[in-house]
Amino acid sequence: MKARVTVTLKSGILDPQGKAIEGALRSLGVAGVASVRQGKVFDIEIEGDDRAQAEVMLKQAADKLLANTVIENYRVEVVG
Amino acid sequence: MKAAVLVFPGINRERDMARTLELMSGTAPAMVWHAETALPGGTDLVVIPGGFSYGDYLRCGAIAARAPIMDAVRGFAAQGGLVLGVCNGFQILCETGLLPGVLMRNQQLKFICRDVYLRVERSNTAFTRGYNAGQVIRVPVAHGEGNYIADGETIARLEGEGRVLFRYCSPDGMIDPNWNHNGAINAIAGILNERGNVLGMMPHPENHVEAALGVTDGRGLFAGLMETLDRAA
């Protein structure tokens, strides 16, 4: 099975990298960008085919390592 | 002083730290590899030095914080043992949860390598008794992610409990955004844990201890630590 964990900064946390990207898009003339927040995507291959178990495992992975929940939120998806 | 300096792949300030510890205490520290599961017997100070553990992959300090030796460090701290984390060491302590908050990318997105001024906020701690409260010291920084932040409640607690030990300041000790080079909230450069035995700081006091380099303001930290350990002995 394939899964994806998406980690994003919590709202209210300053994201200087997102701000820099936002500025670069503006200077490239890409119009209509109101704001950019940068995050991370982890594509994970999972052994076995138990979706429920996979979700539990992925949440554990996110809590223990992939995300720092002081500043980040995460979303877990088993994509099949 | 029987110090242990932790060594992770990608750390590069461990020799500076070891040299300073030996210079100040007369005893060379033990260098402890990250895969070890125990600290050397009789260790009375654990130091996590600066560098780029695991190439700063994922988040600065995130992988090192989960290394086998960190369980031993957690146990050591839980028993009241003194732990000092400098630069990447501070980031690692935050990632382990031994200190609250997190160190974000510097506000102006640049890696900053230069001397800064710090105001020592308290002298009545295990780490800062070699300084006077309000004293301004000059020490170097070298980091890209030193912008300290935590939720409002945590910051209020840190401030209320006097756990901010170092703040970025002007040469005459004023807290001023122009001298807060990385944008840290409340100009925080170093914090103490609740129990007062774990200190994390971004600047490098170990690099300003030798007269040949012109500034020796870092000596107070190590002299203070030695006094603390002597008193406890």
Distance between CA atoms of residues B19 and B26, nearest Å:
10
Domain that holds residue B118: 3-232
Using CB atoms within 10 A of its CB, is residue B69 exposed (0-12), middle (13-18) or buried (19+)?
buried
Domain that holds residue A6: 2-78
Q: How close are the terminal C-alpha atoms of chain B, in Å?
A: 10
Q: Which two tokens stand for residue A31?
A: 């119009």
Window 59-78 of A: residues touching B by CB (8 A cutoff) are: 64-66, 68, 70-71
CATH number of the domain to which B50 belongs:
3.40.50.880
Using one digit for the tens of pLDDT, what is the confidence trace for A27-76? 999 999 999 999 999 999 999 999 999 999 999 999 999 999 989 999 99
Using one digit for the tens of pLDDT, what is the confidence trace for B168-223? 999 999 999 999 999 999 999 999 999 999 999 999 999 999 999 999 999 999 99
pTM: 0.93
The partner residue sitting opposite B105, judged by closest CB among A16, A64, A70, is A16
Residue B87 known to be catalytic: yes
CATH number of the domain to which A11 belongs:
3.30.1280.10
How would DSSP label each residue in B61-78? Answer: TTTGGGSTHHHHHHHHHH
Catalytic residue chosen out of the listed positions B34, B60, B87, B94 = B87
Cβ-based interface (< 8 Å): residues of B facing A? 58-59, 62-63, 66, 95, 100-102, 104-109, 147, 149-151, 183
Distance between CA atoms of residues B82 and B229, nearest Å:
9
Q: In total, how many domains does chain B have?
A: 1
Distance between CA atoms of residues B134 and B11, nearest Å:
32
Residue B204 known to be catalytic: yes
Across B92-215, the runs of DSSP E, i.e. the strands, are 102-104, 112-120, 136-143, 147-149, 164-169, 188-192, 198-201
Q: In total, how many domains does chain A have?
A: 1
Closest residue of A to B105, CA-based?
Answer: A16
Nearest CA among B114, B76, B110 for reference residue B93: B76
Distance between CA atoms of residues B129 and A79, nearest Å:
56
